[in-house]
Amino acid sequence: MKTLLYEVDGRVARITLNRPERGNGITLDMPRELADCVERANLDPAVHAIALAGAGKGFCGGYDLVESAERELPNHDPSEPWDPVLDWQMMSRNLRGFMSLFHSDKPVLCKVHGFCVAGGSDMALCADLLVIAEDARIGYPPARVWGVPTSALWAARVGEQRAKRLLFTGDLIDGRTALDWGLAIEAPPAAELDERFEALLERVALTPVNQLVMMKLLLNQALYAQGLHATQALGVFFDGIARHTPEGYEFARRAAEQGWQAAVRQRDEPYDGPR
């Protein structure tokens, strides 16, 4: 695997995002490798639960867009025709990889430290339980320009009003707020994150696999009944559209001319004042 580490530790399968030098940025390989690891864990009778974490300073900084954003891509050139199905084919497959966590027979616990933003939050929200360090930061800044959350799980996780608060502004919240809003099941101090995560993981892994599978199937039906599949289809299509608006083209132009980080700084500057 190019992007992940996989190991089995007793009753736990551990999947670690392993591109720390790039903030665990998502590549086209990562969602496919993630789905492969989840399936491997599901087929292992010794595994009761799956632990998802990120190596390095943070969980995941989103898609690794530096290379693609800083060069001219024909499909992102406003002078060329845009085929929305190309976006759909790419992003729907990435979403399938993320949703392997949600569809996994066995429960997935996700440990978030440092940062979990953009596509990283798309991935993390597909897990069953999130333990988020109190000083970690999570959210979807591309809601400001150039993106729409493809997993479309914010409303299910934090409620419609708080989801709108986050996605109308692209603001981030810390672990303490995530706990208060019901996104995190725990938000320990950073120094206690590993210990608390492992304690919860150990308790979940005590439960027989058959019971865990039934509990997860039962609880996931609520989101299926609320139309999650239809909402995600919209999210994937809207994500492609967001990159082809006038503002999206302008953002891509700045990234190509000035670099990705400069474009992001200019995007975020108007939001950096008092809230």
Give the pLDDT confidence of 213-226 residue by residue, as tens digits: 999 999 999 999 99
Q: How confident is the model at residue 87 (pLDDT cuts 50, 70, 90)?
A: confident
Phi, psi of 80 (to 5 degrees): -110, 155
Q: What share of the chain is helix, strand, coil (3-state, %, to 5)?
A: 55, 15, 30
**Confidence at residue 67, expressed as pLDDT on a 0 to 100 scale:** 56
For the beta carbon of residue 66, count every other beta carbon within 10 angstroms.
Answer: 14
Q: What is the mean pLDDT of residues 60-85?
A: 72
Of the candidates 45, 56, 34, the one whose C-alpha atom is nearest the C-alpha of residue 8 is: 45
Chosen CATH of 4-271 out of 3.30.43.10, 3.30.2130.30, 3.90.226.10, 3.40.630.10: 3.90.226.10
Give the pLDDT confidence of 199-218 residue by residue, as tens digits: 999 999 999 999 999 999 99
How many residues are there in the chain?
275
235, 238, 243, 247: CA torsion to nearest 10: -120
pLDDT at 132 over 70: yes
Q: Residue 153 is encoded by which pair of tokens?
A: 């799980």
**Confidence at residue 72, expressed as pLDDT on a 0 to 100 scale:** 46
Q: What is the mean pLDDT of residues 90-94?
A: 94
Q: Residue 165 is encoded by which pair of tokens?
A: 């608060």
Q: Where are the domains of the chain?
A: 4-271
Q: Residue 117 is encoded by which pair of tokens?
A: 């933003």
Give the pLDDT confidence of 39-69 residue by residue, as tens digits: 999 999 999 999 999 999 999 999 998 755 5
Nearest-angstrom CA–CA distance, 122 and 95: 8
* Segments of the chain assigned E as strands: 4-9, 12-17, 49-54, 108-112, 115-117, 129-132, 137-139, 172-174
